[in-house]
Amino acid sequence: MRNGSVLHRPFFKVLVANRGEIALRVMRSARRLGLSVVAVHSDADRDALHVHQADQAVRIGEALPVQSYLNIPAIIAAAKASGADAVHPGYGFLAENEEFARACKDAGLVFIGPSPQAIEAMGNKAGAKEIMKKAGVPIVPGYQGTEQGDEVMLAEAGKIGFPVMIKAVAGGGGRGMRLVTDAASFPDALRSARSEAKAAFGDPTVILERAIQNPRHIEIQVFGDSHGNAIHLGERDCSVQRRHQKLIEEAPSPAVTPELRAKMGEVAVAAVKALRYEGAGTLEFLLDARGEFYFMEMNTRLQVEHPVTEAITRLDLVELQLRIARGEPLPVKQQDIRFEGHAIEVRLCSEDAAQDFMPQSGRMARWQVPDGIRVEHALQSGSEIPPFYDSMIAKVISHGATREEARARLIVGLEQLTAFGVTTNQAFLMSCLRHPGFAKGEATTAFISAHRDELLTARANAAFDVALAGLLLYVTNPRAPLWQGGRSLAATFPLPAKIEIAGERYELEVTRERDGSYSVVVDGRQDRFEIDQLDPDSIRFRHDGVMDSAKVLRDGDRLYVQHRGIPLAITDLTLAAPKAAAANGGDGKVRAAMNGRVVAVLVKPGDRVTAGQPVLTLEAMKMEHVHKAGIDGVVAAIDVTEGEQVTTGRIVVEIEAG
| Cβ density class 355-380: b for 16+ within 10 Å, e for less | eebbbbbbebbbbebeeebbbbbbbe
Q: Known catalytic residue: 301?
A: yes
Q: At what angle do helices 317-325 and 20-32 cross, to 10 degrees?
A: 60
Report CA torsion sign: 264, 270, 271, 273: positive
Secondary element (H or E) of residue 649: none
Q: Which residues contact 63 (CB under 8 A, 6 or more apart)?
A: 42, 43, 44, 386, 388
Q: Does residue 14 contact residue 36 with C-beta atoms inside 8 Å?
A: yes
Measure the CA–CA gap between 147 and 131, rounded to whole angstroms: 19
Secondary element (H or E) of residue 19: none
Secondary element (H or E) of residue 294: strand 293-299
Measure the CA–CA gap between 309 and 512, rounded to whole angstroms: 54
Measure the CA–CA gap between 221 and 482, rounded to whole angstroms: 57
Interstrand relation of 525-535 and 608-609 (parallel, antiparallel or unpaired): unpaired
Paired residues of 240 in beta bridges: 248
Q: Does residue 559 contact residue 565 with C-beta atoms inside 8 Å?
A: no
Measure the CA–CA gap between 462 and 459, rounded to whole angstroms: 5
What 3-state class would DSSP assign to 351? strand
Q: Which residues contact 59 (CB under 8 A, 6 or more apart)?
A: 40, 41, 42, 43, 46
Secondary element (H or E) of residue 208: strand 206-210
Measure the CA–CA gap between 310 and 306, rounded to whole angstroms: 6
Q: Does residue 599 contact residue 199 with C-beta atoms inside 8 Å?
A: yes
92: nearest Cα among 164, 36, 163, 21? 21
Distance of CA 313 to the CA centre of its chain: 24
- CA angle (174 as vertex; 171, 176 as ends), nearest 5: 65
Q: Which residues contact 521 (CB under 8 A, 6 or more apart)?
A: 494, 508, 509, 511, 527
Measure the CA–CA gap between 351 and 361, rounded to whole angstroms: 8
Of the candidates 178, 216, 261, 301, the residue annotated as catalytic is 301
What is residue 326's DSSP assignment? Answer: T
Interstrand relation of 614-620 and 589-591 (parallel, antiparallel or unpaired): unpaired
| Cβ density class 53-84: b for 16+ within 10 Å, e for less | bbebbbbbbebbbeebbbbeebbbebbeebeb
**Measured between alpha carbons, how far is residue 256 from residues 236, 269, 292, 558 in Å?**
10, 17, 11, 47
Q: Does residue 234 contact residue 221 with C-beta atoms inside 8 Å?
A: yes
In 10 A of CB 608, how many CB atoms? 12
Supply the DSSP string of 56-69, one letter for each residue. Answer: EEEEEESSSGGGTT
AA letter at 529: F
Measure the CA–CA gap between 169 and 194, rounded to whole angstroms: 10
Measure the CA–CA gap between 539 and 526, rounded to whole angstroms: 20
Cite the active site residues. 301
